[in-house]
Amino acid sequence: MSISRNEAEERKGPGEPKVSVTICAGTTCYVMGGADLLMLAENPPADLADRVEWSGCACLGSCREEGAGRAPFVRIGERVISRVDPESLLKELRDELR
Amino acid sequence: MALGLGGEELRRLVHGLVEKEPDISARMLARRIVQKAHRHDGERARDDISAGVIYFRQPRRLILATGPPFHPERDRELAERLAAFPGRRIICGGTTASLVARELGRRIETPLKGFSGDLPPVSSMEGFHLITEGILTLGRLSPWLAQGLPEGVPRDNPARQVYRALQESDQITLLAGTRINEAHQDPNLPVELEIRRNMVKRLAEDLKGRHLKEVTVEYI
């Protein structure tokens, strides 16, 4: 499920510039690169540390969904992205926050 | 002239220790006694020092659930079974933890603080002693049960936490869900993930044979 950027902007009230990012810590995601994402979440770059709420999740369930793409999965706000690596995640977040 | 600790002194020591820590383990109590006797000898034992402690108590029970049930209709049953268990409850598996949380209406928290990168991080849920990832964690723990814990494993390592919980228990129930996660068998995975059923069987064998635990294995 995904929502448009505009809807996401509207949902964020004033004083709520934070984006919530959830890294899946499940088995498949972990071995496919999730470990690197979790390390990133623990030590995010300075420009994102305040504007992003980082958290982990025991299981997003995406690896079992048909057509969800390939692990590792990350949930940003309401949408889930697939085949994520640290660079692509950072880029995604910086785009989102602009 | 020191003749050794003596019965009266020993009794006082043991009473004191047990009063301060009623759940002290046999191992720890024996260690304290030996330490005291050693100190009494000025840190140079004048003779052999041995302490044997036999602890008569209620068995410590633990249930470890790993893997979702083969039939999703039994998810609720699994969750309720865990919730009702009179002892420590551990879940090894994100999918399993997730479904249990859903059925019981509880939240799972997966804080990332202190995550070392070696194994997926632990999670927490009300009513559960420990929640870890599944196959990788159990796979790490399996040779430890067979050969002992190697040096240098951090105390907060998830597999070590499971290991400790198992060591501290007498009666262990392993509840293995048999639903296959096909993503685990994806040839693109960089590691080979063992089939859960085989893993659990091995764990049970080592827990029984090497660690003298009373083990029940159930598949769901």
Q: Please judge whether B112 and A38 are an interchain contact, meaning their C-beta atoms are less than 8 angstroms apart.
A: yes
Write the pLDDT tens digit of every residue in B88-138.
999 999 999 999 999 999 999 998 877 777 899 999 999 999 999 999 999
Instruction: Quote the DSSP letter at residue A78.
Output: T
Of A28, A50, A60, A43, which Cα lies nearest the Cα of B183?
A: A28
Predicted confidence (pLDDT) per residue in B17-29, tens digit: 999 999 898 889 9
Kindly indicate the confidence band of residue B188, based on its pLDDT and cuts at 50, 70 and 90. Answer: confident
Per the CB < 8 Å rule, is A59 touching B191? no
Residue A98, pLDDT score: 81
Contact residues, chain B, for A61 at CB < 8 Å? 95, 98
Residues of chain A with Cβ-Cβ distance to B94 below 8 Å are 24-27, 57-59
Nearest to B10 by CA among B56, B52, B48, B43: B52
Query: Helix, strand, or coil here: A18?
Result: coil
ipTM of this complex prediction, to 2 decimal places: 0.78
Q: Which of B133, B137, B138, B199 to mutate to test the interface with A (most CBs of A within 10 A)?
A: B133
Are A42 and B134 a contacting pair at CB < 8 A? Answer: no
Taking an 8 Å cut-off on Cβ atoms, the answer to whether B98 and A58 are in contact is yes
A64 touches chain B (CB under 8 A): yes
pLDDT at B183 over 90: no
The whole-number average pLDDT for the span B68-96 is: 97
* Alpha-carbon gap, residue B36 to B15, rounded angstroms: 14
Q: Are B69 and B178 in contact (CB under 8 A)?
A: yes
B188 residue type, one letter: N
Instruction: Supply the pLDDT for residue B33.
Output: 95
Q: Once rounded to an integer, what is the mean pLDDT over residues A70-93?
A: 94
Average pLDDT over all residues of chain A: 85
End-to-end CA distance of chain B: 66
Q: Indicate if the pLDDT at residue A14 is higher than 70.
A: no
Chain B: nearest CA to A57, how far in angstroms?
5
Give the pLDDT band (50/70/90) at residue B1: very low
Nearest CA in chain B to A69: B183
Output DSSP code: residue A29: H
Q: Which tokens in the block code for residue B54?
A: 């036999």
Q: Which residues pair with A81 in a beta bridge?
A: A74
Whether residues B123 and A56 touch (CB distance < 8 A) is answered with: yes
Could you tell me if B60 and B86 are in contact, meaning their C-beta atoms sit under 8 angstroms apart? no
- Cβ neighbours of residue B70 closer than 8 Å, sequence gap 6 or more: B177, B178, B179, B220
Give the Å distances, CA to CA, from A67 to A63, B4, B68, B94, B119. Answer: 9, 74, 22, 21, 27
Q: How far apart are CA B48 and CA B9, in angstroms?
A: 18
Q: Contact at 8 Å (CB) between B141 and B161? A: no
